Amino acid sequence: MLVNALIREYLEYNGYALTQTVMEHEVPTAVVDRRQMEAALSVATESSDAANFPLLYSLVFQHVATERPRALHGPTTTDEDAPAANEKTAPDANGHVWRPAL
């Protein structure tokens, strides 16, 4: 029910009226208040610009904000792990190459 409510909110926001109509014929309509969805997902958007967008966007942006740095830079390392300036780097057993922190 929560996923369907998130999808309905997304479809409505983006103007996908036909898709929303098809979904309503396939899935029983259950109205879920936005505050209930926020509470169930532990997402608060009342005091931010995110309140103007579907909760699905907030969930994706929250995920990207926490996962993207790790995906871009690999596992964190310390300077002690860094190779010497004249030392060639090679992937470790897991395929990771040391990169300086940005």
Would you state the pLDDT for residue 97? Answer: 62
**pLDDT tens digits, one per residue of 54-73:** 999 888 887 777 776 555 55
Percent with pLDDT over 90 in the chain: 15
Q: Is residue 89 part of a domain?
A: no
Q: Is residue 82 part of a domain?
A: no
Q: Is residue 91 part of a domain?
A: no
Q: Is residue 84 part of a domain?
A: no
Task: Tell me what percent of the chain is helix, strand and coil, each rounded to the nearest 5.
Answer: 55, 0, 45
Q: Is residue 70 part of a domain?
A: yes
| CA gap 22, 41 in Å, rounded | 26
Q: Is residue 11 part of a domain?
A: yes
Q: How confident is the model at residue 101 (pLDDT cuts 50, 70, 90)?
A: very low
Q: Identify the domain containing residue 63 by its residue range.
A: 2-74
Tally of domains within the chain: 1
Please report where in the chains the tokens 């964190």 appear, as a residue: 76
Tokens of residue 75, six digits: 């596992």
Instruction: Please provide the DSSP assignment of 23-49 as one string.
Output: HHHHS------HHHHHHHHT---TTSG
**pLDDT tens digits, one per residue of 21-44:** 998 888 877 778 888 888 888 887
| CA gap 26, 4 in Å, rounded | 11
Q: Is residue 38 part of a domain?
A: yes
pTM for the model stands at: 0.59
Q: Is residue 90 part of a domain?
A: no
